[in-house]
């Protein structure tokens, strides 16, 4: 646990949270900011700032819990759709340095938008990026 981490404080029970689920590996709780109604966060109990600092098995377990909670959100709140979001780094929108996953209920005109239209690349650029990624796998 990190002494200055708000999510570690929630995990330890030092800060109240509306918990949805918990087990030995992770907890899920309602996000106080509620970007959209029913916004849930899933965090591993073990502190890691992001996916680059956690072992693959712990990350897999986090996403197993995420899938379980997402199904419960879908069944319990009946939104037309759900987004699952996991950010790594400030530029990606991560505001708490503890690995976490967002479950966001979605409506047709909820105002929450990810812009997929801004960046277009030709096949040569795509191949350069892919080659760089393959070299590091």
Please indicate whether residue 100 is annotated as part of the active site.
yes
Q: CA quadruple 75, 76, 82, 86: dihedral positive or negative?
A: negative
Contact 30, 18 (CB under 8 A): yes
Q: Which of 100, 102, 109, 120 is catalytic?
A: 100
d(C-alpha 91, C-alpha 61), whole Å: 25
Closest CA relative to residue 29, chosen from 54, 65, 75: 65
Distances (CA, A) of 96 to 2, 92, 101, 119: 12, 12, 11, 27
Residue 2 DSSP label: -
Active site residues: 100
């Amino acid at each position: 646990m990190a002494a200055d981490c708000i999510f570690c404080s929630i995990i330890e029970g030092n800060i109240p949270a509306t918990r949805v689920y918990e087990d030995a590996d992770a907890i899920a709780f309602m996000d106080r900011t509620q970007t959209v109604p029913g916004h849930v966060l899933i965090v591993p109990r073990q502190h890691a700032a992001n996916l680059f600092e956690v072992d693959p098995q712990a990350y897999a377990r986090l996403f197993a819990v995420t899938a379980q909670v997402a199904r419960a959100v879908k069944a319990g709140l009946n939104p037309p759709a759900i987004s699952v979001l996991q950010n790594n780094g400030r530029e990606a929108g991560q505001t708490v340095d503890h690995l976490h996953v967002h479950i966001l209920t979605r409506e047709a005109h909820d105002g929450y938008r990810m812009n997929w239209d801004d960046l277009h690349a030709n096949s040569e650029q795509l191949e350069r990026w892919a080659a760089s990624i393959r070299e590091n796998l």
